[in-house]
Amino acid sequence: MFNFDAEASHEHIIVNQVPKLAYSEKKDFDAWRKELREKFVELLGINKIRENDCPLNVIVEYREKKEGYELIRLVVETEKDVFIPCYLLIPDGNKEKYPLAITLQGHKHGGMYNSIGIVKDDDDREYQPRGSFALQAVKEGFAALCVEMRGMGELESVSESRNKGFCCRFASVMAISLGRSIIGERVWDVSKAIDAMEKFPQVDLSTIVITGNSGGGTASFYAGAYDERITLTAPSCAFCSYSASILHWYHCFCNVIPEAPRYFDMGDLAGLIAPRKLTIIAGALDGTFPYQGVLDNYPIVERIYERVGAKGNAELVTTPKDHWWCEDIVWPSIQRGLKK
Amino acid sequence: MEINIDKYHDLILSRQKRKVEYSADKDFNQWKIDLKDAFNLVLKIDDIKSHLNGNRYIFEYEQEFENFTLIRFIVETEIDSFIPCHLLIPKQQKEKYPLAITLQGHDNDHIYSAKGDMIKPEEYSYSPYGELALACVERGYAALCVEMRGMGELHRPSRRGRAKVRCGFASFQSMLLGRCLSGERVWDVSKVIDVMDRFPQVDLDNIIAIGHSSGAGNIAYYLGAFDERIKLTVSSSGFCNYKDSIFDSWQCLCNYIPDVVNWFEMDDLVGLIADRKLLIVTSSEDERLPVESVKKSFTKIEEIFAKNNNASACKLIVNDGERKLNVDSIFAGIEELNKK
């Protein structure tokens, strides 16, 4: 009998393809970066999302005084008739302005409410205080912005027939079918949420950090590549070569950007972030985005930052954990990165 | 304010213009040309074609049964894509037999539908009529079972991950590589037809494609649109406009096609079948393929067939009850269409 492997044809493509926009020292850097950006924007579907763009519309739903900060619940219309809920936390204190930390959750049931320490069940309880990214940011002296990721939390499908299985699956396939990607939509929403910050004079938009874990780390990384207002991008447990992660492991479908691996790998996208700051946090024991895949791609990041004369602006920080948000490592790394 | 991502999706969907949507105002012949180009573009046929590798045929074995001879072979439809097939040739003393390509949907080891004894009876969801190929043989057809990528022998249990439905990972990986599983499956079947000239008992002027349920009923329809050698296309429990089916309820990932919303609805594609014959079989209580939507599309289908001077060559059968393979119904429809 003839032996064959069900996945061999895809494997042939994966092994033999050289991403068309892979970074190389031989390429004219500015021309390469321009082409990379155009393709990145196209593949994320941002051109398609932009067709449904709308004027800035920010609705403040409520403000609450909390211990150490003010909690503002707002909703941003990021596309015409598409409303993305957010939380903004402004620290109490004597400062006129606070640098902004955008904190994004991954695939944790409940979405962004975890970032402000809300507990609704035992699973939430187990996730705290580790999962309260925004409260941590406030303690670090930031104004914290939580943006709900499409497909998660309040943006999970309400319809029973659509909401089967993993939270963001349906929203992801809708995005793909529309010629977009849910990553592109999330990046777009974050960018629009930054636009909304002009309404809040206490937020210092000259210093913006973005961070998150897992799916939130992924969105952080791509948002950092897209929005040049972001000063420091700090994805946790998300950066990894496509080959070591999504091309060979059945992750949530929200990781799919159709055709992306044929053009670039994650390391190449550092070309859209450099010379701005990039702090990659990775778990040495991470089995979801394996550490070897991080090590495979991080040299590309180093080469790009060297090329732009900003070698010190990129850092790889390794935690001893697996797929885990280590607040005791993430925040000092972010602070260190900002001081450079 | 109400946050409802389902409403956002429905609104965005309603705003999309399909570039090759059928309209009576359009020049019909030009529309068909544009539709064909769009179909090949969206299903990524050119990319798959670029990996053609001689369409190698590999004979495995021949086995005699009481009423038919079974030939097992493999076709390399693109580099390293080895598609197992079973061809059943009836023992009815005829020189040539019309060819029925039989495609199974999810949840069975599909090509083994040709040999019920290879599967434990309790695993059949609709035995004895699940043996579509055997039913065709009984009715005087040579039956060709082609394994669908991601199913049966073409499913490798995921390394890790969530693949409860077998073709999830294959779909995921296909989209990352800039393709879609529907396009790959259509291509595979078409390449298998190419090797049928090795079998003088098969009448290649008389080919029917029959697919049942999600993963096959839709593939049979796309195959009919793609390969003009298919004289009669039978989509059983596989046809319904995307808006009312896969965009209204989560269905297997393999149903989704990147960017399709911007190009065509499922019923638009009938423009590529309208010069031949089409039978659509559906069920009155199919939750995933609402019958009212199918009926509404069929009005449009009849219009397109009429415009192609082929008005009597399409038929819709609605069976009572939930989704079920109804072989008698299928062949009644085939017989009626073949009389015309």
Instruction: Please count the other Cβ atoms lying within 10 Å of the Cβ belonging to residue B340.
Output: 11
Binding-face residues of B in 86-145 toward A, CB within 8 A: none
Q: Which residues contact B105 (CB under 8 A, 6 or more apart)?
A: B211, B212, B213, B214, B215, B216, B217, B237, B238
Compare CB distances from B6 to A158, A164, A176 and report the shortest one's residue. A158
In this predicted model, what pLDDT tens digit does every residue of A177-189 receive, in sequence order? 999 999 999 999 9
Q: Within an 8 Å CB–CB cutoff, is residue B59 touching chain A? A: no
Question: Is some CB atom of chain B closer than 8 A to the CB atom of A94?
Answer: no
Tell me the nearest-neighbour CA distance from A186 into chain B, angstroms. Answer: 13
| pLDDT score at B10 | 94
- Any B CB within 8 A of A127 CB: no
List chain B residues with CB under 8 Å of A7: 156, 170, 173
pLDDT of B299 above 80:
yes
Q: Are A10 and B155 in contact (CB under 8 A)?
A: no
Given A12, A174, A179, which is nearest B259 (Cβ)? A179
Q: Is B245 left (phi over 0), alpha (psi -120 to 50) or beta?
A: alpha
DSSP string, A268-313: GGHHHHTTSEEEEEEETT-TTTTHHHHHHHHHHHHHHHHHTT-GGG
- pLDDT for B126: 38
Interchain CB distance below 8 Å, B261 and A178:
yes
Question: Is residue B113 over pLDDT 70?
Answer: no
**Hey, is the C-beta of A111 within 8 angstroms of any chain B C-beta?**
no
Calculate mean pLDDT across residues B232-244: 97
- C-beta of residue B3 within 8 angstroms of C-beta of residue A157: no
Note the pLDDT tens digit of each residue in B245-263: 999 999 889 999 999 999 9
**Positions in chain A whose pLDDT score sits under 70:** none
Set out the domains of chain A in order of their start, with CATH numbers: 18-339 (3.40.50.1820)
Tokens of A6: 């069900």
| A-B contacts at Cβ under 8 angstroms | 163
Question: Quick check: B260 contacting A, CB < 8 Å?
Answer: yes
Interface list for A 258-277 with B (CB within 8 A): 258-262
Whether the CA torsion B259, B10, B249, B32 is positive or negative: it is: negative
Chain B interface disruption, residue of A12, A177, A286, A322, most B CBs within 10 A: A177
Average per-residue pLDDT for chain B: 89
Specify the pLDDT at position B114: 40
Which chain A residues have a beta carbon less than 8 Å from that of B58? 2
**Chain B within 8 Å of A173 (Cβ-Cβ)?**
yes
DSSP B80: T
**Residue B158 pLDDT level (bands cut at 50, 70, 90):** low
What pLDDT score does B340 carry? Answer: 81
- Nearest residue of chain A to residue B258 (CA atoms): A177
Listed in sequence order, the residues at least 6 apart from A134 whose beta carbon sits closer than 8 Å to its beta carbon are A87, A89, A101, A103, A115, A116, A144, A145, A146
> Pairing between strand B142-146 and B81-90?
antiparallel
Contact check, Cβ <8 Å, A8/B78 = no
What integer pLDDT is reported at residue A249 of this predicted model?
87
Pairing relationship of beta strands B314-319 and B277-283 according to DSSP bridges:
parallel
Closest residue by Cα to residue B268 from B234, B292, B303: B303
Cis ω for the linkage preceding B157 (within 30 of 0): no
Looking at residue B167, its pLDDT comes to: 83
Q: Which two tokens stand for residue B300?
A: 């449009």
The reply to whether residue A250 touches residue B168, judged by beta carbons under 8 angstroms, is yes
Q: Domain-by-domain residue ranges, chain B?
A: 5-339
> Cα angle at B17 between B13 and B19, to 5 degrees?
135
Give the phi and the psi of residue A77 in degrees, each rounded to 5: -80, 105
pLDDT score recorded for residue B164:
52
Measured CA to CA, the distance from residue B133 to residue B115 in angstroms comes to 9
Q: Residue B107's pLDDT is what?
A: 55
Residue B186: both structure tokens together: 């259509």
Say yes or no to pLDDT of B129 above 50. no
pLDDT digit string, tens, across residues B196-235: 999 999 999 999 999 988 889 999 999 999 999 999 999 9
Residue with tokens 């619940």: A73
Instruction: Give B279→chain A minimum CA distance, Å.
Output: 26
The secondary element (H helix, E strand) that includes residue B166 is none
At residue B310, what are phi and psi to the nearest 5 degrees? -140, 40
Confidence at residue B257, expressed as pLDDT on a 0 to 100 scale? 97
CATH of domain B5-339: 3.40.50.1820
- Shortest Cα distance from A220 to chain B (angstroms)? 20
Which helix (DSSP H) or strand (DSSP E) does residue A316 occupy?
Answer: strand A314-319
> Cβ contact (<8 Å) for A256 and B257?
no
Tell me the pLDDT tens digit for each residue of B15-57. Answer: 999 999 999 999 999 999 999 999 999 999 999 999 999 999 9
3-state helix, strand, coil in chain A (%, to 5): 40, 20, 40
Sequential DSSP letters for A27-96:
S-HHHHHHHHHHHHHHHHTHHHHHTT-----EEEEEEEEETTEEEEEEEEEEETTEEEEEEEEEE-SS-S
A257-304 residue pLDDT tens: 999 999 999 999 999 999 999 999 999 999 999 999 999 999 999 999
